[in-house]
Structure 1
Amino acid sequence: MKVMLGTVEVAGFVAGLTSGLRSIGVSAESYLSASHPFGYDGVDDKQPVVVRIWRSLGSFRAKNASMPLPLKGVVWGLQFLLSWLVLFYSVFIFDAYIFVYGKTITNTRFELFLLRSMNKKIIFVYLGSDCRPPYLSGGSISGVPSSQAAARAVHASKKVSKKVWFQERKADYVVNAPGTGQFHRRDFVNWFSMGVPVSRTNHTMATDVAQTDRAVRILHSPSKPLIKGSDEIRAVVSRLQKKGYLIDFIELKGVPNSKVREELARCDFVIDQLYSDSPMAFFATEAAHFGKPTVVAGYFSECASDYIASDDMPPSVYVMPDKLEEAVANLIDDHKYRTELGLAARDFIHSRWDNRLVAQRYLRLLNGDVPASWLCSAKELSYVHGCGVDQDQIVLVGRYIVDHFGWPAFRLEGKSELKQQLAKLLNQPASPDA
């Protein structure tokens, strides 16, 4: 079986899974529409010329986002035309496609019709904001007035929900986290049953030495500070410093992944984000390589064990947002616990998320061998507290949507449990026809 993975790289996921598939004897290639700005991807320079030009045009667009509109249109048009050549080339090479972040080669419906007509295996792997309802996503509603955020979220929800519904119909399987699967109409594969494909080879272990007279080194590396809650994280650290805690706080933004790894090797632990719907997202996973524990907050922490099997639960300090300061203080105070948690995180990713093991699970998907324990019921989801945004903002935006657009704007047809939970959160009666 020959497998294509793409077309965007997210925190090394595509590179890790490609490597894992190759390690178990599967012929796998990653076709990316642009190189990753932080250097995560490791694409093969021996790929066909059309694929390399297609990727180069995408990289040029990303690096020159402020180019004049006519030039931007020309570059986009050229890349779009090349995407069809890449697609038609690929169908003669590959038997299966693993699409990440909801992106395909041409990003058209015809592409999926074509692949299905040719009996190609298709898997979609969603990673968060690509499928999460926009009215529950900080990337859509944080930092703007509720009226503007609501209008934006309603428009985006229609687009995202239609994409998810179409892709899940055309795919053999879709992989998603239970905290972001609200738009699914069909059961999907639990992201935590599959894992993050990580490699042991590119990281070295650094030990946390117990010294009571030195500052504890804490690392925070937000890709998007607003939705990661960086302001509150800084405030938490500042309050602890005023209480007498010795803290050396390091914040990295917009730096290459190599720089992040250097700081991970030097830190004592990591603070990931304030409103996460995962106990161990990509940054926390990378910290685990180095045996460094992560503090992460999010509303999903209250119900994570309802959706994630105990064997699949990644070790981290996962708490409600209002408990972040207490969690950070405890980790500073308890060196032994800090060390043990870091080692447990490292052991977990090596024993559960090693790229070879994750690749074996994806191969089972491609072969149609899927245990029932891997599946999430789309109808039984009830999490509505979002990611990357304070709950108060979700309530404000949600109430505005109810008042000005009506319940159908939430795009939760057939999801009685989700509608009930959302109505409870908004303190609004749910419309029976919503």
Structure 2
Amino acid sequence: MSEVNNLSHLGSKAKQIVLNVYNYFLKQPKEDNGSCIERTVRATGVGNRTVYRIRKEHKDRGPLKSPQRSQRGDYKPLDDFDTTLIRNKIHEFNTVRRQLPTLRNLHTVLKNDIKFPGSVSTLRKEVRQLGFRWKRTSNNRKVLVEKPSIVSQRLSFYMRKKELEDLGFKLVYVDETWVDSAYCAKRCWQGPNAPGVLMPCNKGQRLIVVHAGSIDGFVPGAQLIYKASSSTGDYHREMNGENFKKWMETQLIPNLDCPCAIVMDNASYQSVQTERCPTSNTRKEDIKIWLQRHNISFNDALLRPQLLELARMNRPPPTYAIDQLVRENGHEILRLPPYHPDFNAIEIIWSQLKDIIRKRNTTFRLGDVQKITNDAFEEIGADRWLSACKHVDAVVEQHKNNDHVIDDVIDSIIINLADDSSSDSDSSTDTASEIEL
């Protein structure tokens, strides 16, 4: 019997058994075949040292306990730039490296490129949130491919962007970000008697910043900075549909000097619908009223699930309050495809803005941070905006080319297996009707 010398491998029950065996031999008459400890070692298979340590633990602490498992540190969610890099790396595997982007080789690359802190399982969750799925390939391996709905929305964005540009609309990029009063540089020159800048212990108060810009620079008068109600959680919750609409009406639209296509993401406060299609929470009478208002005939004897299905079959495309407001003033809305902050030029500007704040914030007072932010807006001129817009155009063009290449690659490796089933694991596949690119 092999000896167990590591006490950390023994749970409380195993330790108690060893102790009981030792106590049993302790009460028996002494024999010539060894001491109580030696007989316990032969009977249980643990080492001498383990028996001594169990006896000492019981004597010093009383009831024996299982060893505590080491706790993992908190996993810090990835920011938009890191998730964009993951998406680009998957595309790189398909188009440049001509390799199947399995989770393991993707995990290895990301650990080197962005110091990805999570495990392969964590990476699986991240890529699923980006709209990727595992699919069996022709050599029985798995490849990460995007859902058709994500690709379709990206293709629609390409066409809509070109259409608006051909019509003479100027692209104006809109977004919001946040800055904490404790936001500062994490490194500085220090010496034996010069500790440098001391960082505060908490994040402090938070500012929400909203702005818009184009190749001509920031839109004059569109700047909005206000104190957030909380310094934790998702900063998108600090803005709601009513406040965003008021900002559009009073600060953005009046300052647009020509027909513009306002580029924005699909945040909930930017996507308030003028009229929603009935859902499972809608009352039966309200479903009937909705059907009548849309001139959809129905039998009054239909049950609620049948009425609801009829409404869903005749659901019109969603209409948004912001879109109507913008079009009434001679402009258009260009919505970004999901998971593509890299298509928004203001994301690059936000990075430059925060870099300025990080280098100059030494007081950690909210008023000072707001002044630094205002000064930074003055420094970031049209030249930086022009560079950011050109970079985004290049990124969009690269994605467009990649989509054509990936379409050819995926078409050559995907096998439609009618009896496959969908799963997250590396050992399962998707059905032919559920192929998620």
Shorter-chain TM-score category?
under 0.3
Larger radius of gyration: 2
